Amino acid sequence: MGAAKQTRFVFVTGGVVSSLGKGVAAASLGALFEARGYRVAMQKLDPYINVDAGTMNPFQHGEVFVTDDGAETDLDLGHYERFTHVRMTRRSNYTAGRIYESVIRRERRGDYLGATVQVIPHITDAIKEAILGIAEDGPDVAIVEIGGTVGDIESLPFLEAIRQLRFDLGEDRTCYVHLTLVPYIAAAGELKTKPTQHSVQKLREIGIAPDVLVCRCEREIPRAQRDKIALFCNVPRERVIEARDVPLIYALPLRLREEGFGSAVLAKLGLADPEPDLSIWRDFCARVEKADKHVRIAMVGKYVELADAYKSVHEALVHGGAANGAKVEILYVDAERLEREDAARVLQDAHGILVPGGFGLRGAAGKMAAIRYAREHHVPFLGICLGMQLAVIEFARHVAGMPDATSSEFDPQAKEPVIALMTEWERDGIRIRRAPGDDLGGTMRLGAYPCRLKPGTRAHAAYGRDEVRERHRHRYEFHPGYRERLERAGLVIAGESPDGELVEIIELADHPWFVACQFHPEFLSRPYAPHPLFRDFVAAALERAHA
């Protein structure tokens, strides 16, 4: 706790409606602190009961973001990583479920010595412990975002915990930022401040008076309205920040800086406010604006109706496009559509095809049709996780002459499980060298693992190095029992675990750019450091677009 004494805490809450972009606003605040030389930590507290995001359907909740240390977390952590230089960990995301689980575990152990275990103080104490935990290595500022909307029953213990933290830590070490909506009502021709007033009232009822208001709006808030918000919400005029919609989320740090967001929070915390260096954001936005080339990427997946389901992949394509001076148009294609319609017709306008991660049999045939089309028609292809597994199966079936090739995920009785659980390799007579319980055996391989790259491959050329670390989230693996046969048929193993046991990247040699990886490169792409595989994939697609 010694170092944590210096850390200031900024708590970000949201009101009126959900989906206001609280995560991006919190992440932008992190960028504004970093731009002034402060070291930040970021955390998201989610009021739902799931112990982590791992079991949640991306359809409902958006992608599951994976950290280096293998936590399956809320997608807002992806924003935090893309807007700052901080790497998230297991400590960066707590759900109500995880907090309750720890309290119940302690109760069963008898740690509470017969006391009645209650929401206050036991749950709130556990929440405070989790919050203080991210400050353990002494960042200057910890930004803590509370999920949900003020007024939800579920978020109450979290709000009570942050209320108490001001009491515990003091006025000048805490800052409450509240994000609200100032809607434009067309019929009245006016922006309305009432929802903001009500939302602040709700917060005050539970003992929190916001220090800074961030008002999400479609158009400029006139002076009179701002004054009204300030007066009725009891927030100084210069701490009412307008957050108008931006066309590119990476412009938000710049926009919020103009509005004085960083300065308002710094002033509240009594911290120095040096001139921020926002060049990485200015450069990135300028690059996107100047991009005069255009490329169309077809993303073939199962959750294409909800853009958030592939959030990090989407962003990585934007980064890769900017690196190539191109705007990337993403064409979301429902995989099942390719089971009814001809892939050549659906995909004819795509300059590149991407098959992202996924689970289960539904849509697999359609994804494979897309992969086959990419392979046969020399369309640049990037396969990720399930996308790689399907590329291996497609190759085995149509090139290596193994019509029964599949994944044991789709058919546990598979005759030719080219993709299988490690426990199943053993059944097939492969001796696993990894220590038991090391990571696998029916459980997920989660988090960052090293991958050794083979010189002369496209992957090696992209990364420009011999070894990388990438994040994983999967159960099934390339079955080594089939490796030789597939290599003989022309499959290139471009990356593997340093012990040679696990296949991490496959490629095709006689193709302009066909690369598929078992890991998720999208989690490591940043606007200021685009991921090499996305960058080169987009470059290859551009070449096709301009051929």
Query: Would you name the residues annotated as active-site residues?
Result: 385, 520, 522
Nearer to ligand GLN, 338 or 384 (CB): 384
Alpha-carbon distance of 242 to 213, in angstroms, equals 8
* 298 DSSP β-pair partners: 331, 353
Q: CA–CA distance from 206 to each of 161, 162, 361 (Å)?
A: 11, 11, 48
* Segment interacting with ligand GLN, rule: CB under 6 A, options 112-120, 129-137, 339-347, 352-360: 352-360
For residue 231, give the amino acid letter: L
CA dihedral 11, 49, 363, 457 (to 10 degrees): 50
Nearer to ligand GLN, 261 or 476 (CB): 476
Q: CA–CA distance from 47 to each of 94, 98, 149, 159, 479 (Å)?
A: 9, 10, 10, 10, 40
Is 221 an interacting residue with respect to ligand GLN (CB under 6 A)?
no
Is 359 an interacting residue with respect to ligand GLN (CB under 6 A)?
yes
Residues 6 or more apart whose CB falls under 8 angstroms from that of 459 comprise 453, 494, 495, 505, 507, 515, 517, 533
321 CB-contact burial (10 Å; exposed 0-12 / middle 13-18 / buried 19+): buried
**In this structure, are residues 199 and 178 in contact, taking their beta carbons and an 8 Å threshold?**
yes
Query: Out of 34, 46, 140, 409, which residue is the one contacting ligand GLN (CB under 6 A)?
Result: 409
Is 367 an interacting residue with respect to ligand GLN (CB under 6 A)?
no
Query: Out of 474, 479, 511, 544, which residue is the one contacting ligand GLN (CB under 6 A)?
Result: 474
Is 475 an interacting residue with respect to ligand GLN (CB under 6 A)?
yes
* Local structure of 19: helix, strand or coil: coil
Give the shortest CB-64-to-ligand GLN separation in angstroms.
9
User: Which phi and psi angles does 202 have, rounded to 5°?
Assistant: -60, -40
Nearer to ligand GLN, 176 or 523 (CB): 523
Is 440 an interacting residue with respect to ligand GLN (CB under 6 A)?
no
Give the shortest CB-46-to-ligand GLN separation in angstroms.
21
DSSP class of residue 381? E
Q: How many CB atoms lie within 10 A of CB 99?
A: 26
Give the shortest CB-473-to-ligand GLN separation in angstroms.
5
Nearer to ligand GLN, 18 or 57 (CB): 57
Alpha-carbon distance of 386 to 336, in angstroms, equals 15
Give the strand order in the sheet containing 381-384. Answer: 326-334, 293-301, 352-355, 381-384, 514-517, 503-508, 491-496, 445-453, 467-474
Query: Out of 276, 358, 363, 530, which residue is the one contacting ligand GLN (CB under 6 A)?
Result: 358
Give the shortest CB-357-to-ligand GLN separation in angstroms.
3
> Which of 27, 529, 16 lies closest to 262 in space, CA to CA?
27
Give the shortest CB-356-to-ligand GLN separation in angstroms.
7
Which 3-state string (H, E, C) describes 387-402? HHHHHHHHHHHHCCCC
* Segment interacting with ligand GLN, rule: CB under 6 A, options 36-44, 341-349, 468-476, 490-498: 468-476
Is 476 an interacting residue with respect to ligand GLN (CB under 6 A)?
yes
475 CB-contact burial (10 Å; exposed 0-12 / middle 13-18 / buried 19+): middle
Nearer to ligand GLN, 139 or 357 (CB): 357
* Segment interacting with ligand GLN, rule: CB under 6 A, options 1-9, 147-155, 163-171, 472-480: 472-480
Nearer to ligand GLN, 209 or 493 (CB): 493
* Segment interacting with ligand GLN, rule: CB under 6 A, options 256-264, 365-373, 469-477, 491-499: 469-477
CA dihedral 433, 437, 438, 444 (to 10 degrees): 110
Nearer to ligand GLN, 326 or 420 (CB): 420
* Segment interacting with ligand GLN, rule: CB under 6 A, options 344-352, 473-481, 501-509, 527-535: 473-481
> Which of 332, 360, 340 lies closest to 475 in space, CA to CA?
360
Give the shortest CB-516-to-ligand GLN separation in angstroms.
11
CA dihedral 293, 298, 302, 307 (to 10 degrees): 20
Q: How many CB atoms lie within 10 A of CB 100?
A: 17
Nearer to ligand GLN, 354 or 386 (CB): 386
Give the shortest CB-316-to-ligand GLN separation in angstroms.
15
Give the shortest CB-424-to-ligand GLN separation in angstroms.
12
Alpha-carbon distance of 202 to 338, in angstroms, equals 49
* 352 DSSP β-pair partners: 297
Query: Out of 147, 210, 357, 495, which residue is the one contacting ligand GLN (CB under 6 A)?
Result: 357
Nearer to ligand GLN, 216 or 474 (CB): 474
Residues 378-407 that bind ligand GLN (CB under 6 A): 385-386
Give the shortest CB-319-to-ligand GLN separation in angstroms.
20
DSSP class of residue 529? B
* Segment interacting with ligand GLN, rule: CB under 6 A, options 174-182, 278-286, 312-320, 467-475: 467-475
Residues touching ligand GLN, count (CB under 6 A): 10
Give the shortest CB-232-to-ligand GLN separation in angstroms.
48
Nearer to ligand GLN, 355 or 538 (CB): 355
Is 232 an interacting residue with respect to ligand GLN (CB under 6 A)?
no
* 447 DSSP β-pair partners: 472
Which tokens is 322 given?
Answer: 């900017």
Query: Out of 473, 511, 531, 544, which residue is the one contacting ligand GLN (CB under 6 A)?
Result: 473
* Segment interacting with ligand GLN, rule: CB under 6 A, options 52-60, 83-91, 216-224, 356-364: 356-364
Q: Which residues sit at the interface with ligand GLN, rule CB under 6 A?
A: 357-359, 385-386, 409, 473-476
